Amino acid sequence: MALKQLTAVAALNEAAGKVIEASVCEAQGTYLALVETEAGKRLAWAAQGESALSKLWKDVEKEADVKDVHVAVMALNANNAALVRRLVKWAAPTACGTKGASVGFSDWLGAADAVVTDLFAKRQLKPVLVDFTPEDSAAIGRNFLEAVDTATWGVLEKGYKEGYGANAAGLKSEEEIVKALLYGYSMIGFDCSDKIDLSIEKLSDEAVEKRFEQFNETFRAALHASYLNAEFKVGTNKITFTENQLHRIVLEYGEAIMHVQFIYNSYLKNTPWDIDFELDLSKPGKVLTPQEHYLIGNELQRNGIKLAAICLDPLKDAEALQENLQLHCEIADTFGYRLSFANADIAMTDTAAAMKYLKGKAHFKMNNILWMSAVKLVQALDADLFGKLCAVCGCEAVDGAVCGRMENGRALALGYKKALDVKVEGNVAEAMKAFLAAHHDEYAAEVLKNVGAHLKSI
The pLDDT tens digits for 168-190 are 999 999 999 999 999 999 999 99
Q: What is the mean pLDDT of residues 156-162?
A: 96
pLDDT band for position 409 (cuts 50, 70, 90): confident
Look at residue 388 and tell me whether its pLDDT is greater than 60.
yes
Confidence (pLDDT) at 327 = 94
Q: What are 23-60's pLDDT values in tens digits?
A: 999 999 999 999 999 999 999 999 998 899 999 999 99
Residue of 455, 449, 452, 236 whose CA lies nearest to 352: 455
Residue of 364, 357, 342 whose CA lies nearest to 457: 364
Question: CA–CA separation, 34 vs 345, rounded Å?
Answer: 32
Confidence (pLDDT) at 285 = 77
Residue of 71, 19, 26 whose CA lies nearest to 48: 71
Look at residue 191 and tell me whether its pLDDT is greater than 80.
yes
Residue of 360, 395, 354, 381 whose CA lies nearest to 435: 381
Query: 365: number of CA atoms within 13 Å, CB side?
Result: 28
Beta strands 60-66 and 362-366 are unpaired
Q: How many of the other CB atoms lie within 10 Å of CB of 204?
A: 8
pLDDT band for position 1 (cuts 50, 70, 90): low
Look at residue 261 and tell me whether its pLDDT is greater than 60.
yes
SS3 content of the chain, % helix, strand, coil (to 5): 50, 20, 30
Domain ranges, ordered by start, for the chain = 5-76, 369-455
Question: CA–CA separation, 353 vs 341, rounded Å?
Answer: 13
Prediction pTM value? 0.93
Mean per-residue pLDDT over the chain, rounded: 93
Confidence (pLDDT) at 400 = 47
Look at residue 408 and tell me whether its pLDDT is greater than 70.
no
Q: What is the mean pLDDT of residues 371-395?
A: 94
Look at residue 100 and tell me whether its pLDDT is greater than 70.
yes
Confidence (pLDDT) at 407 = 55
- Least trusted range by pLDDT, from 129-133, 282-286, 416-420: 282-286
Residue of 273, 268, 307, 275 whose CA lies nearest to 96: 275
Show the DSSP H helices in 73-204 as ranges. 78-87, 113-116, 134-140, 144-158, 174-182
Residues facing residue 283 across a β-bridge: 286
Look at residue 222 and tell me whether its pLDDT is greater than 70.
yes
Look at residue 109 and tell me whether its pLDDT is greater than 50.
yes
Confidence (pLDDT) at 404 = 47
Q: What is the mean pLDDT of residues 350-356?
A: 90
Look at residue 369 and tell me whether its pLDDT is greater than 60.
yes
Cα angle for residues 108, 112, 113 (degrees, 5° grid): 100
DSSP annotation string for 417-449: HHHT-TTSTT--HHHHHHHHHHTHHHHHHHHHH
